[in-house]
Amino acid sequence: MPQQVTVTEHLLLHQKRIPGATGQFTRLFNEIVLSAKIINREVNKAGLVDVLGFTGKTNVQGEEVKKLDEYANRILIHRMARSGVLCAMASEENADIIEVPHGLPVGDYICIFDPLDGSSNIDVNVNIGTIFSIFKRESPEGSHLLSSDVLQPGLRQVAAGYVLYGTSTMLVFTTGDGVHGFTMDPGVGEFLLSHPNIRIPERGRIYSVNEGYYSYWDEPTKAILEYFKSSDNNNRKPYSGRYIGSLVADFHRNLIYGGIFMYPADNRDPKKPQGKLRLTCEANPMAFLAEQAGGMAVDGRNRILELEVEHLHQRTPLFIGSREDVLKVREVYREFDAKG
Ligand code: AFP
């Protein structure tokens, strides 16, 4: 019989190896796991009960809020606020930092999350995901929390991951010690270790981008796309195009098969000159995972994890995936910059 390691067992084992570990992180992680199971249950029932469609509200991003988005957000906030180890949270769905309600115990951790990413896919039964990013506060415990505690660069993440609600439900995360994937066994109700130490292939065969926006891109991005589609690239044949439109699902496929996901800047909407994806709750956690799996993530020119975070809902272009493919992106940007 294969060894069946649960997420909690994995974390406890890991924790034992860290001198001075207090178990706070494991406590927080257990709440994320439980939230994921609850959200998964609702996602699985979608279509049978009244959870599809819109709430009629608009979120801070100006997007219409889906009922499941709101549900997932509520579950995560409720559960994590009671973990006793967080001092603040931030969600893609909330304009401001979410404080732990008065009277509940607090700790040093901060969790930033996108409760249900790819939610425009919910109503048609396409994969969606929850993304999370965890930091430790930098200001002293017990003092007033600073906005700089929440707006730390991605490099300072202590953990990041996602839950993919797909063919099967998976939890993939890193605590800075490689990337590990756990698959939900519905019979047992636990996430079991199925993909230890995931490594992304050095060079991929897949490019993922919303090519419908081609005419809105800058010249380097257009040149990058031509490179991946040409038979004159390092693979000597065109890459396959695959685009689901759910970051978690597109990223996960490329993580396993190798490839590059791109959401470049575009000039469709003057209010969003940096593209659509958010730095804190999408690009940073995915970049941490990509790097821990041996891949890379840049905004074209700069490493995502080094970008300064100026505000919670900041957007960034994102090129992420296999190392050689992302290096190619940077090379093309440098060539264009050198030409002036
Ligand atoms: P939704 O949550 O509104 O579906 O947005 C999902 C997302 O942020 C990300 O998961 C996708 O990669 C990206 O948007 C897709 O955006 P386009 O529809 O513009 O290609």
Tell me the average pLDDT across 212-230: 97
**Residue 209 CB less than 6 A away from ligand 1:** no
Q: Whose CA is nearest to atom 18 of ligand 1?
A: 245
Comparing CA positions, the residue from 209, 311, 211 lying closest to residue 254 is 209
Q: Which distant-in-sequence residues (6+ apart) come within 8 Å of 298 by Cβ?
A: 304, 319, 320, 326, 329, 330
CA of 245 to the centre of ligand 1 (A): 5
Tell me the average pLDDT across 280-285: 98
**Residue 316 CB less than 6 A away from ligand 1:** no
Q: Whose CA is nearest to atom 5 of ligand 1?
A: 118
Q: What is the mean pLDDT of the chain?
A: 92
Pocket test for ligand 1, best of 64, 261, 277, 281 (most atoms within 8 A of CB): 277
**Binning pLDDT at 50, 70 and 90, where does residue 299 land?**
very high
CA distance 208 to 211: 9
CA distance 198 to 255: 8
CA of 340 to the centre of ligand 1 (A): 32
Residue 246 alpha carbon, nearest atom of ligand 1: 10
Pocket test for ligand 1, best of 246, 266, 274, 281 (most atoms within 8 A of CB): 246
Helix (H), strand (E) counts: the chain: 8, 15
CA distance 125 to 280: 27
pLDDT at position 241 over 50:
yes
Condensed to tens digits (0 to 9), the pLDDT of residues 113-139 reads 999 999 888 888 899 999 999 999 999
**pTM, rounded to two decimals:** 0.94
Q: Whose CA is nearest to atom 12 of ligand 1?
A: 247
At position 290, the amino acid (one-letter code) is: A
**Residue 166 CB less than 6 A away from ligand 1:** no
Q: Which two tokens stand for residue 38?
A: 């609850």
CA distance 104 to 83: 9
CA of 120 to the centre of ligand 1 (A): 7
User: What strand order describes the sheet that includes 109-117?
Assistant: 98-99, 86-91, 109-117, 128-136, 159-165, 169-174, 179-185, 190-195
| Residue bearing the bigger pLDDT, 54 or 191 | 191
Lowest mean pLDDT, pick from 54-68, 86-100, 117-131:
54-68
pLDDT at position 51 over 50:
yes
Contact 181, 195 (CB under 8 A): yes
| Residue bearing the bigger pLDDT, 49 or 24 | 24
Residue 1, pLDDT score: 47
pLDDT at position 92 over 80:
yes
Q: Whose CA is nearest to atom 7 of ligand 1?
A: 118
| Residue bearing the bigger pLDDT, 189 or 18 | 189
**Binning pLDDT at 50, 70 and 90, where does residue 68 land?**
confident
**Burial classification of residue 123, based on how many CB atoms lie within 10 Å of its CB (0-12 exposed, 13-18 middle, 19 or more buried):** middle
pLDDT at position 16 over 80:
no
Tell me the average pLDDT across 44-59: 68
Pocket test for ligand 1, best of 113, 254, 276 (most atoms within 8 A of CB): 276
Q: What single string gives the DSSP state of each residue in 223-240?
A: HHHHHHHSTTSTTSSPPE
**Residue 11 CB less than 6 A away from ligand 1:** no
pLDDT at position 287 over 60:
yes
CA distance 11 to 44: 27
pLDDT at position 2 over 60:
no
Comparing CA positions, the residue from 240, 220, 243, 222 lying closest to residue 231 is 240
CA of 263 to the centre of ligand 1 (A): 9
Residue 263 alpha carbon, nearest atom of ligand 1: 12
Comparing CA positions, the residue from 119, 120, 81 lying closest to residue 100 is 81
CA distance 31 to 207: 34
CA distance 199 to 276: 27
**Residue 247 CB less than 6 A away from ligand 1:** yes
Q: Which distant-in-sequence residues (6+ apart) come within 8 Å of 312 by Cβ?
A: 90, 95, 96, 97, 112, 150, 151, 280
Tell me the average pLDDT across 165-187: 95
CA of 215 to the centre of ligand 1 (A): 18
Tell me the average pLDDT across 192-212: 97
